[in-house]
Structure formats: structure tokens, C-alpha cells
Structure 1
Amino acid sequence: MGAGIAAHLANVGLRVLLMDMVPKALTDEEQAQGLTFEDRAVRNRLAEAGKARLLQESPSPLYTPQALDLIETGNFEDDLHRLSEVDWIIEAIVEDLGAKRALLERVEPYWREGTVVSTNTSGISIARMVEGRSPAFRRHFLGTHFFNPPRYLPLLELIPHPETDPKIVEDMRRFAEVKLGKGVVVAKDTPNFIANRIGTYGLLVTYRTMEAMGLSVEAVDAITGEAMGRPKSATFRTLDVVGLDTFLHVANNVVANVSDPDEKAAFRAPDVFRTMVERGLVGQKRGAGFYKQVRENGEKKILALDLKTLEYRPRQAFSAPSLVAGQGKDLKTRLERLLFADDVAGRFAWEVTKKTLLYAAAKVGEIADSPADIDRAMKLGFGWSLGPFELWDLLGVRRVAERMKKEGETLPDWVEALLREPEPAFYRQEGTEVVVFGRGGYAPIVLPPEALSLKRLKAAGRTIGGNRSASLVDLGDGVLALEFHSKGNALGTDIVAVANEAFRLLDDHFDGLVVGNEGKNFSAGANLMLMLMEAEDENWDEIDRLVREFQAFTLRIKYARRPVVAAPFGMTLGGGYEVAAAADRIVAAAETYMGLVETAVGLIPAGGGTKEFLLRMVERVPEGVKLDLQPLVNHAFETIAMAKVSTSGEDARRLGYLRPTDAVVPNREHLLAEAKRAVLELVRTGYTPPAPRKIPVVGEPGYATMRLGIYQLQNRRAITDHDAVIADKLAFVLAGGRVPKGTLVDEQYLLDLEREAFLSLIGMPKTQARMAHMLKTGKPLRN
């Protein structure tokens, strides 16, 4: 965990000193090298091993491998004096109060006033940890609970104790949100804080309900995943990732530190969990938990654990009418069809949900000041689509409360007070502000200045146009937003129509445009299903029209009279990247997975993506410098042909998808506001649209070079014959066709080449087979 935190700090450009214990014994390898305990290589071995593992882990904890250069290693015996050099000390050792207190005692002599000290604990008392330390040290001490893995889970719980300086809490909140990209929640110094307290309770309720109803591990995971607005890993697959031993430690921490006997009983783990830990069945890190992967006849198979016999068996499919009824529906419909259904899945899901909602309501004021903090913690830390109180609102506060009472449940007094409102809801929109009901009535949820919410603006009536696939939203200060909200944010004619309206508004009413949204991903590209259907019907003129229309769309973005800034995040693939690439600036989230992936379905980028990536390569040559373009074009060819996707925003810069002038923002919640600021900065500095330019191409000689590479790969059987056909079409476009080397061509010429190659490929049966396979399985076909 310490190495993971160090990696994320390095990701955002911070220099880190990573320290660990001095090993107690030499390894055989160290002895063979003649090393002793006096050698730094031995003394820093544990920290070095933690650093080295960062390059091996998947998914990578690093934005780029180069971030590793910012991490220096040391050890607790030789390097504690260096703590006087740093601004923030993070303790992340074993979850043991005595060990943590002993280490902090060793830290204090080297600590200088003004340096923040924090502990990465999942639930140990912050106040007890600094007993015996000086008043100044205690004022600078708090909990910083990173969720694992630190790069990918955005939640950071800040836990002050009674003596923590409030200014330090606020400074750390701002620093963590802006610099580290974290979603920060301030928690009370109570056992397991917020997310682990609610999450652990909910999981134990899930197990007890499962046991009472006689359900299997697979059945519970089928119900408690996406059907309930939770991650695909659901309950037991999540436990396998976390580690059952870790989970028991967290649960036992509550048992040991709460006084209510009913709550102690609720957190007491079942005997079968303890038995599993004793047998080493703790999850993925030991190769077996609630599930186990085996090989049978050369094929991978997943077995499930029978909790009655503790024997593994083939997984058993589970379904129920309520689950089937919700498939493919929006979240509200899915939840209503499941939670109010009178079948086994519905009864199970309702019981788990009811108990979790009631427990969360009972803990408001004890573990967090506001229901909003609990909701935020569960979404950011556990990946829930909705927090407990947002879910309650979605289902109807009065409807749920009346059912609970009918079943003999008692609601907290503050929830009863809410029910006396004419239209009870935990959240309410008041203008552009959202208020939340808690123990003191309604209070505003204040967004930080770096955040901008389309949802809030739309609820306040700032939508000025749109259709079922896209909306136009007034962001204020003369900036318009084009928001995608089609299924999967797939790009189609509906979005192009709204975009054309945006361009008309830009001419007369707005100073600039932000292209962004608040979906799961920016956009995974064009509507592949539509294209395949047209191809199967041999509607070549219609496909030609659609491609021309999309090319015109990206050109309008590029040459709009007002500045356009794209704000991509998550999957930004194919047409999604083509839209972003056409903008004057890209302000990308740190977690942006960007790429031109059309070759995976037998096509090439034809909405301007091939042309724009080539332009980015050409721009790397300083004006007036004579430099061979071929290596840069080869990079473009390799990147697009291999459908390379960036592993982060910074990796997108390395691959060439981003220009040096583009920005990467650590916190996705700040993305739209940063994009709006970029628009206003372009306006302030006197924006003029770019002038069309001629593009030098490598021509026939460059095409021949790329064809030679294709032939060699094909000859080694590294690619299929159809891969070679696709690659040849791509090489032809990137080379600029059959023209002399150094020929200057215009953008429309390259767009025509893109379109012709696309139309040629989509008519091929092997390409259509690739498209169909991707739509059916989500995986590429190598035919």
C-alpha cells in the first residue's frame, strides 16, 4: 500500500522518499554477491522491492513508467533524519496500533513544525495513535485513508482527531482534490470511518441473508452486481480481490471498538469465513477464495466454492424474472423491477438494501456529518452507482419508509422528521444549488471552485437545446457545452445535429464551446451497429453519406469561429478521439484511455483521425528544419495499425494523441471547469480560428517502406492476411497516396483517402465478421 501511494504521488509530479524496514536476513543472492548488512542495497531491499513491483502490477499503478524516477528509496534506520526535508510524512505500515505508535515516536525527533504527518489506516483510532506525542505534532496529525489501489479508487477519507488544526484539514482537502485528483470526504474518528463501516456492514448482511435464503455464491453475485447498481465484481468476487483476511481484520476492528452489543453481533464474521482464512482461501493473492481458476484440458475454468462443504465445483448459472426484466434498462427501472419483485432475487435484494439503508441512516452524525458524505464515500470507495440516500430518493423516500415500517422496522428520528415534509427527499435542487437533509434539516452542498456540474446546471434550467442523444448547456460566462448522453455515448447523427445547432449559437450568442459530459466514458466511438447494418444491406451510398457527415462535423469543430475545447475522460476511442482531436485544445482527465482502435474491427479511422494523428507527427518537426518525416509517419502507422490505447492521460501525450499545449487534469470532477477556463483563456488572448494548412507527406517511397514492414510481419505470420489488407489501406492514407515524397496536400485530400479506404474495407466480409464479433463479445476477432 505504501508503494502504491508513492506511485500515485509520483504520478502527479511529486518527489517521494519511500522507506521500509531493514531486512532481518540476507538472501542467498546477496550472500553470493558478498553483500553484508552494511550495504545500502541490502538495507533498502524491501523499499526497492516495493518500487520494482510497481512496474509489474496490472493494472499499472503508474501513469507512465517515467514516474518511477521520482521515487527514491531508503530505510527506517538510516534515513529517518531526512524527514526534516519533506512537506508531508505518510505512515503506511501494518495495521497495528502499537506498531504505528512506536514508529511515530521515532519520527517525531526528526519532524519539523509545519510538516503534515498522516497515517494510512483503514480504521484505527487517529487520536489514540498520537497519544504521548507533543501538542504541536498532534496538531499536524490526521488520518489519510487512501483506498486501494490508490491510483484507480478516487476516495480519500481525511480523518482529523479533536486536536488536529482545522486549517491543516482544509489545506489537505484542497491539495488532495486539486493536486492528487482525489474525491475527499472528511470522516469522524470512529472505527473504520465511513466507507468501510457501511461497506463491511452491508457485506455481512448480504452473507446472513444469503445463508437464510439458501443461495449460492454465484446467485448472490448475480443479484448484487450491476442489477443493484454495484460494480460487476458484486460481493464475493470483490472479496476475493480485497482478501478475506483483510476483510476480517476490518470487521474485527468494529467488534473490538464499539459498545453496542447489537452492532458487535452485526460485525462478527461468520465461522465459515474464519475457516476459509485458516485454510488459506483468502482470494486472488493465494489463488483461491470464493472462486478459483483452474485449467482443464488446456482451458481456463472458474470454479465456485460451496460454502456448506468448502469444496469447489463448476459455477452454476442463476437467473430470476426480476433480473431478466431489468436487463438493458436504465438504473431506476432495473432497481425498481428488482427491489419490488416478489421472487427470490427481489426478496433477497430488498432485505439487503433495507438493512443497509437503515444502518447508514442510523450512523449519520456518528461517522459523518452529512448523508452526502456517506453517499460520496460509497460511490468513490466502493464503486456504487448511488449512495444509500441517493438510492432511497430514487425509489421514493415515503414509499420505502412505509414498506420498512410495515415490516416492523424503526426509522431514526431525523428520517421521521424528513417524512413530515410535503414531498420528502434527502436531496433537493434550489436554483443551481443542491441541498441535503440531515440531522439539522436541509443544508447546501457547496461545490469547490474547481468543479462544475452539468447535472446541476440542467436541473436549474440551463439547457438550451438538444435531443435524446445530446444537449446544449449554458455554462455561464459566454461558454456553451455540448454534452453527449446517447447509449454508451456512441456518436451518431443525433449528436451531429445538436452539434450543428451549437455552431449556429457560437456565431451569435456564445464566445466558446466545451465538448464534454458526465457519463461513464467520454465516447467509445461511432455507432458500430448502425454501420454494420448498413454494410450488410449494402447501403454504400448511405455509409458514404454518414462518413462525409462525420468528417464535416470534425472540420466544423476545428475551424469554428469561436474556440472549442474538448474534455475527454475514460474511454475516448475511435470517433470519440476524432472529436477531441479536432478541438483547439484538449483538457483530458488523468484517467483517459485514448486511441484510434478502428483496425480492431477491420477498418481505419475515417472521421479525420488518421489525418489528425499524421498532423501531430508533422508538427513535431520545427518550422524551417529539414527532417526525415518517415520515422514519425512510421510511429503513426504503428500506433493506429496496432490500435494502441493510452493507459492514462500522460501516456496519451507519450503516444502522440495529445499535443504539448493540451492539459491533463488529475481530478475528473474538475474537468469541465478546467475546460471552460481554457476556453475563456483562448478568448482573453484574442482567439482566431486556425488557417487551413498544407501537409507534407512521404508519398510513394514512404508507402513502400510501410508495405515492406507489413510484408515482413505477414511473412513471419505475426499478422493475418486480412490484418495486412487493413494495414496496407492505412499505410496508403498516411503516405498521402501515390504522390512524390514531400508533396504538400490539403486536409480534404487526406479525408477523401480516409473515406475511400473505409468504404473499401467495410464492404469486405472479413471486416463485417470482425464488426459482428466485437458487437457480440466485446473482443476483437483475428480472422
Structure 2
Amino acid sequence: MGKAAFGALDAGVQRAAVIGAGSMGGGIAAQFANAGIPVDLIDIPGEASRNGPAEAGIARQLKTGGFMSPEAAALVRAGNTEDHLGRVAEADWIVEAIIEDIGAKRDLYARLEALRKDGSTVSSNTSTILRAALVEGLGARFDRDFVISHFFNPPRHMQLLEIVSGPASDPESVARAHSAGRQVLGKTVVDCRDTPGFIANRIGCYWIAMAVLEAERQGLTVEEADAVISAFGVPATGVFGLLDLIGIDLIPLVWGRLAETLPDADGLQAYDLAASALSQQMNAAGRLGRKSGAGFYRKAGDGSREALDLASQTYRPLDRQGKPGDLRALIEAGGRLGDYAWTVLARLVTYTASVADEIAHDLPSIDTAVALGYGWREGPFRQADRVGAEFIATRLAEAGEPVPELLAKAARDGGFYPKGQGGSASAAPVLAENAAAVLEDAGDGLGVFRIKTKMGVFSPEVFDVLEHAIGLAGGKLSALVLAPGNPRAFSAGADLASFLELAEDPAALDHFLSRGQAAFAALRTAPMPVVAAVRGLALGGGCEVTLHADRVVAHAEARFGLPETRLGILPGWGGTTRMYHRLSDPATGAVGPAAVAARTVDLLLPGPMTGSAAEARAAHLLRAEDEIVMHGDDVEGVATGLARAMATDYTPPVEELLAVAGPAGMAGALSATRAHHAAGRVDGRVLTIAEDLAQVVTGGAAGDPSRPILEGEMRDLERAAVLRMAARDETRAAMRATLKQ
């Protein structure tokens, strides 16, 4: 597995234990392991195998992608509650993730309390039971160290973690849940009050029930309602599609339980989804959503989608709706759709404002929890500000409807987040900028370079700013961080459409390739440390630039790749050369130029794409010394700290000499591909690409095993190969086909 994620071992959890190996418990255990923290996964004994249920939980996570790499699974130790519960004595954090039964949970807690070490944190993943009820009668020691830790499924990908502590909680135990929740598990941690549904489900369940039942009451089709809901910045599923995804059979359990625990005066009681005729009809008919193949939507026999007519309960062809655009404009336009949009917004904002003090410590906690828990672009109060708090309050008052005091105050103050409050920090001073990129001055000689193009693609204008940054090295700048322009993409490499145009003019393409090679090589040997802070995609040229950085700090979910060979070319901005050099390290498993050449061809030919930073490390796209960070928002801060530290006593690397196998090494470099070709597993086009790769990494026709070559010489071979490959009709056809996808 290698070293733990950055900061994970400083978060107060050296070992964890999870009780309950279902999809949630297994996923939580997998996430501890993803960060490099050993964890016990314990469930009831199995009949055929005592550890069978826990082992099945691990296998389920391997199958469904809960682990960021298969190697992480080795950190999860399976056990059962009869033979191995004593292992919790080793754990700093014990997470209970068993069935939602208060008696079963309390019985387990009594057993844990007799076994756990002093100061360990115990938490429950409950989504419906109050903390006060769970700790009742279990003693002061348990009460001090117990919190609710409400994860969302799947634990690897859902960023929200709600924490509920109590009046007697030990600050150190709560702090451990917070720090480990972020640094180990990669979660955004939100403190909640001890109330039914906590924050996200309290608001989210109300919103779903209200939006569904109001759509039915107002006579909208499911497609119309979901189209309107899209204006709220929620996932593309809409509200009916979301219920299909959740599972309509869960309505009686989740919404029913919430309605039982809330007072009669709560706004949710006016929208009792579990008791509604609609929910009962759907469940009686077995229309449970995606899990049953039919819910509010289904796929017809011919593959087309159908929607349920709410009145007749029959399916009909999908009536595709256009996107409504701006929410306020939609409301002001009126009509059936505008009136429905107003109802949903007004009810959402008034309900949230009415219960805000009850469920949360501050407004940002509500917006954060709802946005992350339900995949909204922004939470209800930020949505209200986008439409206008005064507009909402005035319209409610004119209709004779009550205006909650929190909303009335927001209307008077200019919003729930008045201008200058709750916004982003002030922009950093700018050293250079154009429409495609910016170089920020982070102070004390640190520059931060960002690409502003869509998906961070490299263009000539990007190189203008990057070259300016390199020119400041050793003077104005003593360190440089390459940071993403947006969380989705560090850089997706060269713009494919532009590259295809350049391919029609070999001289222009050669200039573009030369410029990229020169810039990346200059980054590598600049008299300042260069640290790449990677979130989202780092593909093609975006991956190549990280190969030239002194160090990479990557979000655990960052995806690295060198997919060029899939299009018929090879990494041509020094990426092939840097991978050859990286694989020359005997620690990677290849010894001698011929073996390194073969390893490089075998790695690059499939166009490697990784699903996580851990996979990138296994593929040598990241090195052992590069850092992996579990929370995406921490990546840039870790990178800037590292860059500043490296600048204190920095010596730039020199251009490397590379031993090459020469033409005699071609056969070995191509042996695997030729065997696949002979067996019919790859076609002639792939073999030709492999031959181009092999020619580069063996040193070309003039390669001599007795004479090492400079990196610059291998880059020249790279560039010549790309020019040759880009001229082929099949390469251009592959690029055009990709652009059409």
C-alpha cells in the first residue's frame, strides 16, 4: 500500500475499527484503508465461515470500487463479534454501522465499553436515532467519547460527514472525529444539533416530499417537475428521478421514521410522503425505482425511456422538456411551471429558515450539508440569495403567508449572506494574466500558476504565462505551484480540436510540440522548486507537466493518464522521456536499458488511465515521495507549504543522461505487442504505434548502448515520432471520432 495519505497519521487515528460490514460499514472501512490506516471490519459470525460476513463486505467493496486500489484491501482485517470484538481495544476510532435498531446498538455499546481503551472515540452511523437516546444509561465515560458520525453512501465518493456531539462530550474525542474525518476520510465535516434527520436529511427529505406531492397536486407531469427542479441547481435526475435512484421502497422507512419523530407542528407533516396514496400505490405495484426496473421512469422494450402518468398510473413515452434557465425569471414568468417553481422555492426557504436554529449552529453548515448530501450546486440559503431574499419575503407577505424571522432579517440585511460576508477570500495579486492563464503572487517569492481554459487545456496563450513564470525563477519567484483552475480538471492536456488543425501544418505542429517540450523541460531545471497541486483530471499534457515537477501533491480521487496512444500518437511534451527515466530506477522492477524500454512500451501503449492517485502511484505516474491528500480542498495548501519548505535549500536537477538499448533492443521492447498481434488480440495499427514508441525509447536508429543520450535527444525523437504519427490518416480519423463523442 505504501505510505499513508498526507496528514493521516497526525489526525489521532493510528488504527480504526468498524462494526457492521454492510455496504455502509464496508465502505467506511475501505475509506480508512484508502488513507493507509489499518482497520478491523467486524460483523456477526457466519455459518460457513466465522468471518464470512466481514470477508463478504471486503469483497463487495473490491467489486463496487470502494477501494482506491486493490492493495488497500490488505489493510482491512476481517473478524466477527464473538471471536474478535476484543480487537477494538487497539482502535482510536470505533465506528458502529449496524442495523437501525436502538436496542441492538445499545447492547453493542455495552460490550464495546468494557473493551475499548481510554480516550478512544466511539461513533454511530445512525441516520434516524438521536444521540441522547443512544447514550442513555451507558455511563459518563461512554457519553464523553461518543458521537454520531453520519456518513452518506457510498462513503468513498460522498463528501459529507455530519457529526453530532453532546453536552458532556470530550473535546478531544470530537476533535479526533473532525480531524480524522477530513484528513483520513476526506470528508467535509459539519456539526449538527441532536435533532431528527440532523441537517441534510431533515431538509432534503422535506424538499423531496414537498416537491413530489406539490407536483402531483398542481397537475405537473414528472418530466415537467424534474425540468423545473433542474433550475434549482440539483442533480440531473430531478426529484422524481432521485426517488427512483434512492428506492421508492425506502419511503415508508426513511420518511415514515422521520415523520414519527418530528412534532405534529413540523412542516414535514403537511407533506407525509410515506402515508401518501402515491407512495402506497407505487410500493403496492412493485414500482420501486431503478432497483426494480421501473419507478417514475422506466426503460421500454425498445430501449426508449417512458414516464409514469401520475393520474392514471400508466407509462407513456417520455415528453422531453427544455431547460428552464434562470430560476427567478421562471418564477416571474408565472404559468404552471413558474407557479410550481415558486411553490418549491418558497416552501423550501421558509421551512429551512423556520428550523435553522433547531438543527444547526450556523447558516453555512446548513448550506454545506444540503449541497454535499444531496448534490446541489448550492444550499437553500444561497439559493434564496441568488433569487433574492427580499423578493421572496415580499412575495410571501403579499400573498398573506407567514415570513419566518430569519428570512425577514435576510430581506432587511440584503441577503442571508450580505455582500462581503461568507464569500471567497480576496484575490491574490497578479504577476501575469491573460484569458487563458494567470500567475498569482502568493507572497514571499511563491507563485501560483493556474490555467483558466475549459478543462485546463494548454493553448499558446497558456504557454505565454507559463514561460513568464519560468523567466521569474531565481528572481521574483523562489518557488512555483502549478494549481488547478477548477476542481474538475488540473489539465486535460492539449486541445484536441486545435491539435487536429495543427496536424495539417507540420511546421506549426512542430513549433507547438517544441514549445511545450521547452517549457516543461525548463520547469524541471528551473532554479526554484516546482510543485504540482492536482485535483480532477491530469491527462495527456496535463499529466506530462506533473512528470516534470519536483513534487506532486494529488487529491486521492485525482485521475492521471497518458491516453495519447489511443489516438495514435505518443506523449510528446517530454512525457515519454520522463517515463523512461522514471522506469530506469531499479526499484520499479526493470533493470537495464532493454528491460526499461520494454517496460515503457508496455506501460504507455494501452494509454494508461487511472481511477485514483493510488492507482497512479502503482503505475509510476506518481512517485513514492509524491503526496496524496484525502480532501480535495486541502491539496493546494499542502502544495504551497511544501513548495515554501523546499525553497529554503533548493538545488535544481540537471539534465539526465539516459542509457539506451539501441536498435538491438527493439525486438525485446516489442516482444509483448508482437505476441498479442500474432494472437489476434491487437491489430496492425497498435503494432505500428508500439514500433514508434520502441524507436524512441531505444534511442532511435543511431542509438548506441555504449553511449548514453541526453534527455533532450530523446525528446527530439519524441517530437519526430509525433509528427510522423500525426500525419497518418488513421490517427486523424481517430481524433475526429473522439471529438464527435
- Cα distance in 2 for residues equivalent to 1:642 and 1:126: 52
State the Cα deviation string for residues 418-470 of structure 1 (Å, max 9, x = none): 3333x5451543xxxxx44xxxxxxxx9xxxxxxxxx5241xx5344312222
- Cα distance in 1 for residues equivalent to 2:442 and 2:239: 39
Q: Kindly tell me: are residues 80 and 734 of structure 1, through their superposed partners in 2, closer, same or farther at Cα, counting changes over 3 Å?
A: same
Q: Kindly tell me: are residues 736 and 363 of structure 1, through their superposed partners in 2, closer, same or farther at Cα, counting changes over 3 Å?
A: farther
What is the aligned partner in structure 2 of residue 37 from structure 1?
Answer: none
What is the aligned partner in structure 2 of residue 564 from structure 1?
Answer: 530
- Cα distance in 1 for residues equivalent to 2:300 and 2:481: 49
Contact 1:489 1:519 in 2 (8 A): no
Shift of 1:485: 2.3
Q: Kindly tell me: are residues 21 and 547 of structure 1, through their superposed partners in 2, closer, same or farther at Cα, counting changes over 3 Å?
A: same
- Cα distance in 2 for residues equivalent to 1:419 and 1:400: 8
Alignment equivalent of 1:737, drawn from 678, 694, 700: 700
Shift of 1:336: 6.0
State the Cα deviation string for residues 569-608 of structure 1 (Å, max 9, x = none): 2211111111222111101111111110122333222122
SS at match of 2:155: coil
Paired residues for 1:381-780 under 5 Å: 381-406=373-398, 408-421=400-413, 423-424=414-415, 426=417, 428-429=419-420, 435-436=421-422, 455-458=424-427, 461-517=428-484, 518-535=486-503, 538-620=504-586, 627-684=591-648, 686-738=649-701, 739-741=703-705, 743-777=707-741
State the Cα deviation string for residues 322-373 of structure 1 (Å, max 9, x = none): 54xx5xxxxxxx6566565557655544443343233222222111111111
State the Cα deviation string for residues 188-244 of structure 1 (Å, max 9, x = none): 11111111122222222321243245444444444545x543334443443333333
Contact 1:358 1:411 in 2 (8 A): yes
Comparing 153-162 and 720-729, the one that deviates more: 720-729
State the Cα deviation string for residues 275-300 of structure 1 (Å, max 9, x = none): 3334443344444444445775xxx6
Contact 1:564 1:585 in 2 (8 A): yes
Letter in 1 for 2:51: N
Matched, 1:46 2:53: yes
Shift of 1:700: 1.7
Contact 1:229 1:385 in 2 (8 A): yes
Contact 2:241 2:296 in 1 (8 A): yes
SS at match of 1:238: helix
Paired residues for 1:305-384 under 5 Å: 305-312=308-315, 314=317, 316-320=318-322, 322-323=323-324, 347-384=339-376
- Cα distance in 1 for residues equivalent to 2:416 and 2:253: 36
Comparing 701-710 and 170-179, the one that deviates more: 701-710
Letter in 2 for 1:700: P
Structure 1 unaligned blocks of 5 or more:
31-40, 327-333, 430-434, 437-444, 446-454, 778-783
Q: Kindly tell me: are residues 595 and 86 of structure 1, through their superposed partners in 2, closer, same or farther at Cα, counting changes over 3 Å?
A: same
Contact 1:702 1:741 in 2 (8 A): no
Q: Kindly tell me: are residues 46 and 228 of structure 1, through their superposed partners in 2, closer, same or farther at Cα, counting changes over 3 Å?
A: same
- Cα distance in 2 for residues equivalent to 1:764 and 1:56: 40
- Cα distance in 1 for residues equivalent to 2:531 and 2:179: 25
Alignment equivalent of 1:22, drawn from 14, 39, 45: 45
Letter in 1 for 2:452: H
Alignment equivalent of 2:179, drawn from 156, 174, 177: 174
SS at match of 1:636: helix
Contact 1:88 1:117 in 2 (8 A): yes
Alignment equivalent of 1:273, drawn from 279, 291, 303: 279
Contact 2:584 2:591 in 1 (8 A): no
Structure 2 unaligned blocks of 5 or more:
1-23
Shift of 1:93: 0.8
SS at match of 1:420: helix
- Cα distance in 2 for residues equivalent to 1:177 and 1:722: 47
What is the aligned partner in structure 2 of residue 210 from structure 1?
Answer: 215
Comparing 709-718 and 189-198, the one that deviates more: 709-718
What is the aligned partner in structure 1 of residue 30 from structure 2?
Answer: 7
- Cα distance in 1 for residues equivalent to 2:598 and 2:342: 57
Matched, 1:136 2:141: yes
Q: Kindly tell me: are residues 308 and 506 of structure 1, through their superposed partners in 2, closer, same or farther at Cα, counting changes over 3 Å?
A: farther
Letter in 2 for 1:533: E
Q: Kindly tell me: are residues 275 and 475 of structure 1, through their superposed partners in 2, closer, same or farther at Cα, counting changes over 3 Å?
A: farther
Letter in 2 for 1:138: D
- Cα distance in 2 for residues equivalent to 1:238 and 1:218: 12
- Cα distance in 1 for residues equivalent to 2:182 and 2:639: 17
- Cα distance in 2 for residues equivalent to 1:404 and 1:560: 62
- Cα distance in 1 for residues equivalent to 2:532 and 2:609: 18
Shift of 1:310: 4.6
Alignment equivalent of 2:121, drawn from 107, 116, 121: 116
Shift of 1:375: 1.6
- Cα distance in 1 for residues equivalent to 2:68 and 2:700: 36
State the Cα deviation string for residues 674-726 of structure 1 (Å, max 9, x = none): 00111112112x10111111112233233223434333333433234333333
Comparing 148-157 and 164-173, the one that deviates more: 164-173
Aligned pair count reads 714
- Cα distance in 2 for residues equivalent to 1:349 and 1:664: 43
Letter in 2 for 1:762: A
Q: Kindly tell me: are residues 410 and 595 of structure 1, through their superposed partners in 2, closer, same or farther at Cα, counting changes over 3 Å?
A: same
Contact 2:212 2:240 in 1 (8 A): no
- Cα distance in 2 for residues equivalent to 1:289 and 1:640: 44
- Cα distance in 1 for residues equivalent to 2:647 and 2:581: 24
Q: Kindly tell me: are residues 705 and 405 of structure 1, through their superposed partners in 2, closer, same or farther at Cα, counting changes over 3 Å?
A: farther
State the Cα deviation string for residues 222-278 of structure 1 (Å, max 9, x = none): 4545x5433344434433333333354222232111114343122433333333334
Alignment equivalent of 1:197, drawn from 202, 206, 210: 202
Contact 2:494 2:541 in 1 (8 A): yes
Shift of 1:647: 1.8
Letter in 2 for 1:51: I
- Cα distance in 2 for residues equivalent to 1:346 and 1:762: 52
SS at match of 2:197: coil
Contact 2:594 2:669 in 1 (8 A): no
Shift of 1:743: 4.3
Shift of 1:756: 2.2
Q: What is the TM-score normalised by the length of structure 1?
A: 0.85
Q: What is the TM-score normalised by the length of structure 2?
A: 0.89
Contact 1:254 1:267 in 2 (8 A): no
Contact 2:488 2:536 in 1 (8 A): yes
State the Cα deviation string for residues 37-94 of structure 1 (Å, max 9, x = none): xxxx2x222112112212211xx11121111111112222233333333222211111
What is the aligned partner in structure 1 of residue 263 from structure 2?
Answer: 259
Q: Kindly tell me: are residues 760 and 391 of structure 1, through their superposed partners in 2, closer, same or farther at Cα, counting changes over 3 Å?
A: farther
Contact 2:45 2:51 in 1 (8 A): yes
Q: RMSD of aligned C-alpha atoms?
A: 2.7
